[in-house]
Structure 1
Amino acid sequence: AKMLPEKQLQCSICLQVFTDPVTTPCGHNFCLVCIGLVWDSSDVCQCPTCNKTFASRPDISINTAFKELADTLRQIIVCSSASPLSAAQPGEVVCDVCAATSLQVRAHKSCLVCLTSYCEAHLEPHRTVATLKLHKLMEPVKNLQDRMCKKHERLLEMFCRMEQMCVCQFCTETEHKDHPAVTMEDESKERKVHMKQTQADFQQMIQERQKKIEEIKNCLKLSALSAEKEKKASDSLFTSLINSTKERQAEANAEIEERQRAEEKRAEELIGDLQQEIAELQRRNTELNELENTDDHLHLLQRLPSLVSPPPTNREWTETRIYPELCVGTVRRALSRLDKTLRKDLDIMKKEEIRRMQKYAVDVVLDPDTAHPNIVLSPDGKQAGRGELLHIVPDIPQRFDPVICVLSKKGFRSGRFYFQVAVGNKTFWDLGVVKESINRKGMITSTPDNGYWTVRLRNASEYRALDSPSILLQLQKRPKTIGVFADYEEGVVSFFDVDDRSHIYTFTGCLFSERIFPFFSPGVFDHGKNTEPLIITAVSHET
């Protein structure tokens, strides 16, 4: 390497080993790109070494002999650790000039005017030639051609705010002429201001989700303790019975454990979803931090919309929770299969079950926009009576007609809720929950397949659960107040006689996929025998 004439192979413009050397008519040698840049930037064509002026721009060709020597010397310099030039590593931007000689030298800067990336050596003319100093340099980037307008072959340097896209200067004078446009740099600065708020919002969302994880974990611990407590109560109850009850005891415990496992599985899934969302938000935050410091405005504007869009989520986290106790009546169902001697214990369990459900009582207010024109609502929205005359009300899509029904104002997309309705001595009524998208015009068929989970009374004595098919209910006494409990995640809707504290019917395996609403129908007039209103009553927690 020391035998090579290094000084003679050095360009006097970039002071580096020649790349594609050419010889001027006056006998001096330069890099093809270097002499081209000098002549392009001046109105006078002269030799940078001897200042000889040429009448016209000389037609010069690459000196092949010098090129072979220069390429050999440059390869040695690139491989040398003492050299200022560095070999490009995989994924790094390479110098376009060096690449023309098959050398992979790491680029130091990219020029947005030349649309070329330069190593330290070939960047020298941009630091010494006055006109080249005006060029816009940035950190090395790949695919510089992508920064050109495909239609006008000009640099993308403007941003059309109407169509939210990067355009060239010529675009703003033609098809985007009447559109508000700013420089990409100005738009990038403004976006970075909004990015600050987005980052703060993401951080808030991360904290909320972390808090929700802790809430779920704590509730799961309480749920496990509650399940254990219920198992012990079940054991104490069943051990006092005859040997024939032991099989029922094992069945009850197994069901409790199964539901607890289901809660644990659901909790794991919720935590997993939350952790995934946290990871995604952290990833976006990291990328936003990187974009905040970048000069690559095009990259920022292309990436930003996907980063600041609402993060993907499949749940309403504010309504999602793990409950610390079971509300599925496991022990009640086990005891109900036993002999009449169990009725005293069974009655105790029924009272405890409805007490638990009443803990999830909600304030139900009837929605006048859904009420059939024959329904008379009280001013507080707690009573629905059957009027004799039709009221003049707007015919809107959410109103029931001709079926005499009304819904609550609030619906539920998750969780548990309970409400109770005084039916008094009415001879006709329907109660329950329905999905939001039910058909409200024309005749309806109240079945779970159609989005109805309801119980009804007909002719003062015929009680039916409107399942598929409907089930005739044999009630011991006529209930005066009906309690309705729903568990969205469990897929359960249960009905109770509040005064007698007895179970009426439970829909299980309900497939809720949208909001569900408390549902009421005060029924037909029945020759004046069904004039009492349905009354939503407050929950009394007296045992």
Structure 2
Amino acid sequence: MAAASCLLTEDQFLCSICLDVFTDPVTLPCGHNFCRNCITQHWDINVPCQCPNCKRFFNMRPELRVNTFISEMAAQFRQSAQQKASSSSSEQQAAKPGEVPCDVCTGTKLKALKSCLVCLTSYCETHLEPHLTVSGLKRHQLIDPVENLEDRMCTKHDKLLELFCKTDQTCVCMLCSVLDHKTHDVVPLEEKYEGERTELEKTEDETQQMTQKRRLKIQEIKRSVELSEEVADREIAEGVQVFTAVKESVERSQAEFIKTIKEQQRTTEKQAEDFIKELEQEISELEKRSSEVEQLSHSEGYFHLIRKLFSHSFYFHTAPPTKDLTEVSIRPPSYAGSVMRALNQLEEMLSEQIKKLLEAQLKKVQQYAVDVTLDPDIVHLRPTQSNDACRCVLSEQGFTSGRFYFEVQVKKWVRWTVGVTRESSMKRQITLSPNNGYWTVCFTRRGECYAPTDQSVRLSLKSKPKKVGVFVNYKEGLVSFYDVDTATLIYSFTGCSFTGKLYPFFSPCPNNGVKIHTTEMGCVLQ
């Protein structure tokens, strides 16, 4: 029996109706075999009786008897297949959560390898084998395992949804495409899938690029915070150093002031002690003389008194030397102006330290000095705060980021305006102000300095600047003006919002319409 079974192919053990191993196989008069239930149900539906394979008609339904030989061979084949499946299942993995299980496996469901769109069943490697070997099953369409295969069938026509209607944006079957969607744009589902997958891959790439850019931006922000922290720590250290020096200077001035006052007080006390000591000595002499006079005044008889007086004539008739009490006085020292003198010295010292600090700050911004060329051909008319016609010059270079610093010699000009402006602001005549794209300071013929804004800010300067430095921090929205020679801050625009390019700007107002040359402007741009 075992030897005979080895000569039979697997096709001979499968019912052509259920495509599974025979169960209670029966043989028809034409010689073909089927499962008893399969052929019985087939004939119950289809009249007249006919062999499903050879199409032979039977006038009467044949009596069905089990083919014991085929039944034994099928049982042996089923047992062999189960043993093979059991052996194979030990090598295959059970379906995990989220994976598609085999619909045929009993007990432990193995992971499905493929799904059949004809059978609407998912198969593991073992149960998929008939679809790979049986000629009839080889024609079935296999796909990667998916769940709910019933959803792949058209509910209206019970056909496979293998097309996509672009017009209605839905999946359709072949009958749908020629009936309900015959005028629509219909493409194979696979083609739509490939197109969508390409778009998804493109979207995924774009998303990854956007994600990467944001990760880089986060790193950039973190690095900026680190740099900011370093700058802040450095500034704090420098500031603490400066204020510590100022504090020490104040404490030294205070100590010196207290020392001076106390020394003056000690001098006064010493003078008073000397006076008191001399006066106490005189009092002692005077008390001694008074005692002797009292003794003489008590002598008995005039004879004895006269004799004693004359024997002591020198002593009684010459008074001991004493100070003129009108010249003996202690006047408290005058402390008037002591505090003012101490404060003046402190002010001079602090002014010197502040000057050094300002010079250090100016050197910091000067490290961002750029080479700027003021193009004599880029000359524009613009209005000023007065009615005078005024001509201006821009640099050739514009800046859209970072920090930059430049200096302009202004000592030869009676009136001038210096700063930065947007290029678009030079296209029309407008009033100077940050809202109109001008961040400048102006010096008038009357010697007044102001920062043009919606409400101009008058600036108090100790002297007329000879050279003006301009520092711009594009990102932080800062424009600062310095008197380079005195290293003092003239004015700062803060919280500015810059857009587009910023250009260094200068105007020696008024110039009577004369074309401005770089050499005439005396611009020193480092």
Q: TM-score, normalization: structure 1?
A: 0.47
Normalized per residue, which structure has more helix?
A: 2
Q: TM-score, normalization: structure 2?
A: 0.48
Q: Quick check: which has more Rg, 1 or 2? A: 2
